[in-house]
Amino acid sequence: MKIYIDGKYYSKEEAKVSVFDHGLLYGDGVFEGIRAYNGRVFKLDEHLERLFESMRGIFIEPRWSLEKLRSLVVETVRLNGLKDAYIRLVVTRGYGDLGLDLRKCKVPSLIIIADHISLYPESTYQTGVTLVASHLRRVSHQSLTPNIKSLNYLNNILAKDGAVRAGAGEAVMLNMEGYVTECTGDNIFFLKGGVWYTPPAWAGLLDGVTRRVAIELIGKELKMPVKEELFTLFHLYQAEEIFLTGTAAEILPAVKIDGRVIGTGKPGPRTQQLVGHFRDLTRKTGVPVYETAGSAK
């Protein structure tokens, strides 16, 4: 494995950051997870644009253009000989001191990892995942907007651990007002009365790239409406179908929440159709890895 760090490639064993990097010390940085399918990087520009938005949100001045990052991502996948991959871009505040003053960090650091990922076995997509409501509330957007995809995921990690300890696959997180926002690493949709619902991006959730793709496919391929509006756990309890979306999880059916069976207790037919359309899209579109001439330096 070859990992890119600030202009050079290192083996997995040699890839290191300073203990004075503020990404390590304080979670001061941002990241993106991106997928490559069949030798093509899916929705690369959308992910890079969101990365730049996150950087602007925490006052990191990018040292790289979008075009430069695009070429580096493609090169990293190519150098690792991967056709199907999970790509992690990390931008940290960089080397500083033990204080919080971001002015002490003069140069941000860039890390690119291309590897494989499997959050759930393929069988889970056939049987569906079980959900529980987390007792932890999503960090308020009044404190830190979730649309900044920061390196500090402790809120999500603890909620995920609560789900695992409860024997579930994922946790549903509410905002401070008690409305559903998202799961620990995924956005959430539910079907009721011929309409799909998902929380609006301003409600305290990360506006996922896969979320946007799902909204587009529901309208284009399923010919069904999507409403972005606030709802509570009670609405999820009445759902006919539920699915989650995320770069790593893709489109994942859910079949139970807080002990309540969703629909028939199996992945719903509309969700299954959507999974098929999504997988077809990922096989056919994206930035080619092995047809790109040249090399990023």
Identity of the residue numbered 200: P
Whether residue 127 sits in one domain with residue 107: no
Residue 158 lies in a domain: yes
The last residue of a domain, from among 88, 117, 146: 117
- Residue 107, SS3? coil
Whether residue 234 sits in one domain with residue 132: yes
Residue 141 clears pLDDT 90, i.e. is over it: no
Is-contact 250 5, C-beta < 8 A? no
The domain tally of the chain equals 2
Whether residue 243 sits in one domain with residue 203: yes
Whether residue 78 sits in one domain with residue 207: no
Residue 32 clears pLDDT 90, i.e. is over it: yes
- Per the listing, tokens 């609405």 go with 235
Residue 290 lies in a domain: no
Q: Does residue 149 have an active-site annotation?
A: yes
For residues 185 and 181, what is the distance between their CA atoms, to the nearest angstrom?
11
Identify the CATH number of the domain in which residue 59 sits. Answer: 3.30.470.10
The last residue of a domain, from among 82, 117, 152: 117
The band of 119, judged by pLDDT with boundaries at 50, 70 and 90, is: confident
Is-contact 128 91, C-beta < 8 A? no
- Helix 209-220, helix 269-284: angle, nearest 10: 110
Q: Cite the DSSP H helix spans in the chain.
A: 22-26, 44-57, 66-79, 122-127, 154-165, 209-220, 233-237, 269-284
Whether residue 193 sits in one domain with residue 50: no
Would you state the pLDDT for residue 142? 84
- Residue 225, SS3? coil
The last residue of a domain, from among 68, 84, 117: 117
Residue 13 lies in a domain: yes
Task: For 163-210, write each residue's pLDDT tens digit.
Answer: 999 999 999 999 999 999 999 999 999 999 999 999 999 999 999 999
Would you state the structure tokens that stand for residue 248, as one six-digit string?
């790593």
Task: For 95-104, write each residue's pLDDT tens digit.
Answer: 999 999 999 9
**Active-site option among 8, 43, 104, 149:** 149
- Per the listing, tokens 């997509």 go with 125
Number of H helices, E strands in the chain: 8, 16
Would you state the structure tokens that stand for residue 296, as one six-digit string?
């990023």
Identity of the residue numbered 113: I
Residue 288 lies in a domain: no
Which DSSP helix (H) or strand (E) runs through 247?
A: none
Classify strands 109-115 and 40-41 as parallel, antiparallel or unpaired: unpaired
Identify the CATH number of the domain in which residue 217 sits. Answer: 3.20.10.10
Which DSSP helix (H) or strand (E) runs through 197?
A: strand 195-198
Residue 292 lies in a domain: no
Whether residue 138 sits in one domain with residue 107: no
What is the pLDDT averaged over residues 285-296? 72
Residue 59 lies in a domain: yes
**Which phi and psi (to 5°) does residue 243 adopt?**
-140, 160
The range of the structural domain enclosing residue 151 comes to 122-283
Sequence-separated (6 or more) residues with CB below 8 Å from residue 26? 93, 100, 152
